[in-house]
Amino acid sequence: MIDEAATTFEAVHGGRPTGMWAAPGRVNLIGEHTDYNDGFVLPIALPHTTRVTARRREDGRLRLYSAQGDGTVTDLSLDGLTPGVVASWAGYPAGVFWALAEAGHPVGGADLFIDSDVPAGAGLSSSAALECATAAALNDLYELGLTAPELALLAQRAENAFVGVPCGAMDQMASACCTDGAALFLDTRTLEQRHVPLDLAAAGLRLLVIDTRVKHDLGDGAYAALRAGCERAAELLGLPALRDLAVADLASALDRLPGELRPLVRHVVTENRRVLETVERLDRGGTAALGPILTAGHASLRDDFRVSCAETDLAVEAAVAAGALGARMTGGGFGGSVIALVAAGDVTAVSDAVRSAFGSAGFAAPVAFTAVPSAGARRVA
C-alpha cells in the first residue's frame, strides 16, 4: 500500500514522503446524540481507514491531493487559513492545521496525499478519519508529542470552529483512541475511557453495517438545532447538561419543559441508560443480549429524537423481521447507516431481506458489510 501511495505522492508532490498514517471511520454501537450532552457513547472503529502519506514543508504551504478528489492539488497558505475560507473536503485537513496552530503548536507546511476507503456521507465518520489521520501525521512530522485524546480534541475543534459543524467529541475520539477487538466506552464529560472487549466471532455473531445510501449531511442546520434544543432544556432545568438528569427524575423534569423539548430530553436520558446497560451486559459476556437495547435505541431516535428517515426505519424493521437480534441507525441520522447484530449464519438472509425490502419500496439498493472492532489512528509506514 505504501509503495503505491509513495508513487502517487512522488508524481503529485515530487520527492519521497516521510511516512504514512491511517485513521479509521467508526460505527457507534449505542449512545447517539449523547456526546454534546456530556453523556456516554460506545463506538467501535471500522477496518476502513483514511491514509495520509505526508512530508513536511518549510515554506508555510499546505498542498493537498486526494485520490477521491478531482485530480487537482489544493495549495493553501497557512497564513491565510481562517474559518470558512476552505470549502469541500480540504477544509478538514486544513482545519487540523489551523487548530494546531491556534493552540500554539509549531506546525509549518506539509505535502499530503490522501486516500480513503471509508464511505463518505454514510454516517461512518469519514470526516473524523480524515481529520485524525492528518493530526496523527502532523503530530509525528513536527514531533509534537500529543496524545491520542489531545489529537482527537484538536480534530473536533477543527470541525467545530473551522468547518463549522457543532459536533460532539465521539467521532474523533473513536477514530483516534479505539483499539482492535474492543468498543470504546467513553464518558464525554470527563473523557475517561475504557476499552470493553467485544469478540463478536466468539459469540457466534456478526455486526452488519448497512449503508442506506441516503446521504447524511450534518452541516445543514438540523443537527445544530437539536443540539441547541438539548442545551436549552438543560438550562431550563437548571442543570449543567442533560447528562445530569437521572432516569428517576425524568418524569417530573418533563412536566417542567415546553412540549417540543420533552422528547429530546427523554431520548438523551434513556439513551445514556442504554449505554450503561450495554456495557454491563458486555462485561458479563452477554453480547447476544445487546440486541433488544439496540432496537429500543432506534425507536427512541425515530419517535423521540426524530433523526431517522424512511430508509433507516425500513432497514431496521426488515433486519429484525429477518432474524437480526437487534438493529438501529448509527451516527447523526438523517440518512446514513444502520447496524444490525446478527447470528453468524444469518448474515446473508438479513442483508438479502433488507435489499429486497428496499427494492419493493423503490429505494436505491443499500450496501452491506460486516465490521469487527478495529484499531484507531496510527502510523503505518
Beta-carbon count within 10 A of 157 CB: 20
CA 8 to chain centre: 28
- For ligand GLA, the binding residue among 22, 25, 27, 33 (CB under 6 A) is 33
CB within 8 Å of 353: residues ≥ 6 apart: 318, 319, 321, 322
Q: How far is CA 43 from CA 4, 54, 196, 374, in A?
A: 31, 28, 10, 11
Q: Of the residues 38, 115, 171, 211, which is catalytic?
A: 171
* 352 a catalytic residue: no
Give the residue with the Cβ less far from ligand GLA, 216 or 355. Answer: 216
Distance CA 130, CA 184 (A): 19
Distance CA 313, CA 318 (A): 9
Give the residue with the Cβ less far from ligand GLA, 17 or 333. Answer: 333
- For ligand GLA, the binding residue among 32, 111, 131, 346 (CB under 6 A) is 32
Give the residue with the Cβ less far from ligand GLA, 275 or 347. Answer: 275
Q: What is the 3-state secondary structure (H, E, C) of 248-289?
A: HHHHHHHHCCCHHHHHHHHHHHHHHHHHHHHHHHHHCCCHHH
Binding mask 245-274 for ligand GLA (x = CB under 6 A): ------------------------------
Convert 195-215 to b/e letters by CB count within 10 Å (16 or more is b): ebebebeebebbbbbbbbbbe
Q: How far is the CB of 357 from ligand GLA (least distance, A)?
A: 25
Stretch touching ligand GLA by CB under 6 A, among 32-40, 44-52, 89-97, 236-244: 32-40
Give the residue with the Cβ less far from ligand GLA, 187 or 199. Answer: 187
Q: How far is the CB of 191 from ligand GLA (least distance, A)?
A: 14
Q: Is 36 in the site for ligand GLA (CB under 6 A)?
A: yes
Q: Is 35 in the site for ligand GLA (CB under 6 A)?
A: yes
SS3 221: coil
Beta-carbon count within 10 A of 345 CB: 10
Binding mask 135-174 for ligand GLA (x = CB under 6 A): --------------------------------xx-xx---
- Binding residues for ligand GLA (CB under 6 A): 32-33, 35-36, 167-168, 170-171, 218, 331-332
| Residues tagged active-site | 171
